Chains A and B, each alone.
Chain A
Amino acid sequence: MPTPIIEIKNMSKSYELGGETVKALQDVCFTINKGDFVSIIGPSGSGKSTFMNMIGCLDKPDTGEYLLDGKEVEKMKDNELAAIRNIKIGFIFQNFNLLAKLTALENVELPLVYRGVSVKERKEVANACLEKVGLNDRMNHLPSQLSGGQQQRVAIARALAGNPPVLLADEPTGALDSKTSKEVLQMLKNLNEKGQTIILITHDLEVAKEATRVVRIHDGQLFENGGDWIESERINEDGYTQYQNQ
């Protein structure tokens, strides 16, 4: 019996954009179990980013329920959300979002700094995380002295440093060439094999396919069987119309 780590029920979110109300999410229900490697795929403007912000506790839904690792998140205050982000979620961004003035090691330490971990302990943890991504020989380099792939690996190490139950990767390969993309994806796969829950958000079918479960988001609605849609033999079918007809 798999344990659900994320449970989303009837989540809706809309916002005003140029005087028009955009329904970014409509009644989304979604469950992710521990150890899942889920990719969420969707074109730009589909509500993908909004959904990611919701999962990442960066934003609060208008209505609906969100249980993250057994905690009700949707009614939390800003400060509680900050703590949740710190403990429960490891972010990996498209453009790495490392702090340019800090070394690789210090970047990895950052989540622990905000958690109030002692200097010695967090150095050890950060070192271990950099070792996991194979970069402990570069721990005193600034991000500007690292290649894109290395920077993303540092970002992964930073996401792992807090030992969060969920890794949330937003287009992690978007700014990388295909070779380093593969490396980074392989790394995520390896992590998943060791039991790490990973949510991968992308618009790239090839990347999404690497996950064990693919969901598609479109016009603010979530479709579970996105994986079928991107099966290569059915790539020319009009998946959207099919889902409309289902």
Chain B
Amino acid sequence: MNLSESMKMAIRSIKTNKVRAFLTMLGIIIGVASVIVLVSIGQGSSQSVQEEINSLGTNLLTVSVSDTDSVELTDDTIEQFKDLSGISEVAPVVSGRVYAKNGETSTQVSMTGTTSSYISVRDLELSQGRFLTDMETELRSKVVVLGSDTADTLFENQKAVDQNVLIGGVSYRVIGVLKSVGTSMGSSGDDVIIAPITTAKRATSSTTIGTVYLKAENENIVERAMYQVQGTMTTLFPGQSDNYSVSNQEDLMDTMSSVSDTFTLMLGGIASISLLVGGIGIMNIMLVSVSERTKEIGIRKAIGANRKSILLQFLIEAVVLSCLGGLLGVGIGLGIAKLVSIVSSLTISYSWSVTMMAFLFSIFIGVVFGVFPANKASKLNPIQALRHE
């Protein structure tokens, strides 16, 4: 009795009980499909987050101050950063929330006060008009650049450039509109008003620089530039390292990907529990099958089937069931994932390794949960099995 023979026998016996076989496989199908769908969604979202972070530029450094009272960044500090060898550009940021108004429409947005270098440090692009100039920063001009969402809200279908917005009762001229950058990590990059830092200090009535964005000269010296910035900060604010942080995109990416990896793992874990439950379903049906076919086992044994043949027959049947279920699950899972990516805005990232893993795991489950019933069948006493009705 060879393997292909047993395989044929198993497929045959599954064919004679199609509905039952399908219901048995359902657990595995759902398990495999949900592992694939959930992991695809998890990996897709982690990928899109990483892409967003990447699009911000990998040579971006950020100094953020958590306690502005003890760590006061001044224009002098900014100048010192500019003098560092590895840093090409520096953009200090003052931010606050303001109320912007155009005629009847009004919205609350965050105002970012910065300098002309902000646009290149943050890798932003304009869709209309121009960005701030150094002159405007010097002169405290009342000009603003709008984020794409803010422009849409305030000037629905009109051209925003050269129009005026009222911020805190003062009129500002719109000189440019940014291209949409999308939402990342819960904060919209499009829902902003960018003004010269000098102007913004007044409008938001905050004089302290909360964040400084720095651009390293190239990606290879990001680490070195970061040490330089840290060194400068330590010299200027000794013993205050708890009140500010210097980070680069790499750190951010690591944090984000570790978060999303945990998330994906959790989703996959939950889904594999259903795979396990599916396996128990297979064991259950195989046990029923063994007791239903006791007579058949008796006949086979009387005719000369040894323990191994009977064991193999039932084990292969369980494995074929779980294997078929796994295949169907893979198909359905990939289909659903595709559907999700079409219907919703979620990014889907197929992982062939996870698909393969889910499939192999389903076969493994077939073997594990098939062994017990198959062993039971093979141990039946032929005399009693023959007498069984």
Q: Which chain A residues have a beta carbon within 8 Å of chain B's beta carbons?
A: 53, 56, 58-59, 78-79, 82-83, 85-87, 91, 93, 97-99, 101, 110-111, 113-116, 158, 162
CB-nearest residue of chain A to B15:
A101
Given contacts A82-B306, A114-B306, A162-B304, 4 further A-B contacts (CB under 8 A): A78-B307, A99-B296, A113-B5, A114-B304
User: Knowing A101-B13, A116-B1 touch, does A82 contact B304 (C-beta < 8 A)?
Assistant: yes
**Alpha-carbon distance between A114 and B307 when the two chains are bound, in angstroms:** 11
Distance between Cα atoms of A79 and B378 in the complex (Å): 11
Chain B residue numbers with a CB within 8 Å of A99 are: 296, 299-300
Is there contact, CB below 8 Å, between A116 and B2?
Answer: yes
Judge whether A111 and B303 touch: CB under 8 Å: yes
The verdict on B305 contacting chain A, using a C-beta distance below 8 Å, is yes
Whole-angstrom CA separation of A93 from B302 in the bound complex: 10
Least distance between B381 CB and chain A CB atoms (Å): 9
Q: Complex: how many Å from CA A99 to CA B5?
A: 16
Q: Convert B285-299 into 0s and 1s, putting 1 for each residue whose CB lies closer than 8 angstroms to a CB of A.
A: 000000000011011
Complex CA distance for A111 and B1, rounded to whole angstroms = 10
The answer to whether B16 and A158 touch across the interface, beta carbons within 8 angstroms, is no
Contact B301–A82 (Cβ < 8 Å)? yes
Instruction: Give the distance in Å from the alpha carbon of A59 to the alpha carbon of B383 in the complex.
Output: 8
Residues of B within 8 A of A56 (CB): 302
CA distance A156 to B157 in the complex (A): 92
Most buried by A among B303, B307, B308, B386: B303
A113 to B1 CA separation, bound complex (whole angstroms)? 6
Is B202 close to A, CB under 8 A?
A: no
Give the A-binding residues of B (Cβ under 8 A): 1-2, 5, 12-13, 16, 295-296, 298-309, 382-383, 386
Whether A91 contacts B302 by the Cβ 8 Å rule is yes
The reply to whether A79 and B306 form a contact with Cβ atoms under 8 Å apart is yes
A144 to B16, CA, bound (A): 15
Some 13 contacts from A to B, beta carbons below 8 A apart, are: A56-B302, A59-B383, A79-B306, A79-B307, A85-B304, A86-B303, A93-B386, A98-B299, A99-B300, A111-B304, A113-B5, A116-B2, A162-B304
CA distance A97 to B296 in the complex (A): 8
A85 and B386 CA atoms in complex are apart in Å by 14
Supposing A58-B382, A97-B299 touch, asked if A82 and B305 sit within 8 A by C-beta, the answer is: yes
Residue of B nearest to A98 (CB): B299
The 10 closest A-B pairs by CB, nearest first: A86-B304, A82-B306, A79-B306, A114-B304, A85-B304, A97-B299, A111-B303, A114-B305, A58-B382, A58-B383
With both beta carbons as reference points, the residue of chain A lying nearest to B2 in the complex is identified as: A116
Residue of A nearest to B4 (CB): A119
Give the complex CA separation of A86 and B5 in angstroms: 17
Complex Cα distance, B308 from A162, in Å, reads: 20
What's the Cα separation between A56 and B12 when bound, in Å? 29
Complex: A111 Cα to B303 Cα, angstroms:
6
**Whole-angstrom CA separation of A9 from B70 in the bound complex:** 106
Contacts of A85 in B (CB 8 A): 301-304
**Contact indicator B302/A110 (Cβ below 8 Å):** no
Which residues in A have their C-beta under 8 angstroms from that of B295?
97
Q: Which residues of B contact A82 (CB under 8 A)?
A: 301, 304-307
Q: How far is the CB of A192 from chain B (nearest CB, A)?
A: 22
Task: Decide: A114 and B303 in contact? CB cutoff 8 A.
Answer: yes
Residues of A with C-beta under 8 A to B5: 113
Select from chain A the residue with minimum beta-carbon distance to B6: A113
CB pair B299–A114 under 8 Å, yes or no, is: no
Tell me the bound Cα distance from A59 to B384 in angstroms. 11
Measured in the bound complex, the distance between the Cα atoms of B304 and A158 in whole Å is 12
Instruction: Report Cα–Cα, A53/B383, bound state, in Å.
Output: 8
Interface contact A97-B307, CB-CB below 8 Å: no
State how many angstroms separate the Cβ of B103 from the closest Cβ of chain A.
82
Q: With a CB–CB cut-off of 8 A, which chain A residues contact B1?
A: 113-114, 116
- Residues of B contacting A78 in the complex (Cβ-Cβ under 8 angstroms): 306-307
Q: How far is the CA of A59 from the CA of B385 in the complex (A)?
A: 13
Q: Which residue of B lies closest to A50 (CB)?
A: B383
Residue among A53, A101, A116 with the highest chain B CB neighbour number at 10 A: A101
Of the candidates B2, B300, B306, the one having the most CB atoms from chain A within 10 angstroms of its own CB is B306
Q: Which B residue sits closest to A59, measured CB to CB?
A: B383
Bound-state Cα–Cα, A53 to B309, Å? 21
| Bound complex: CA A116 to CA B309 (Å) | 11
CA gap between A79 and B301 in the complex, in Å: 10
Check if B383 sits within 8 Å of A110, measured CB to CB: no
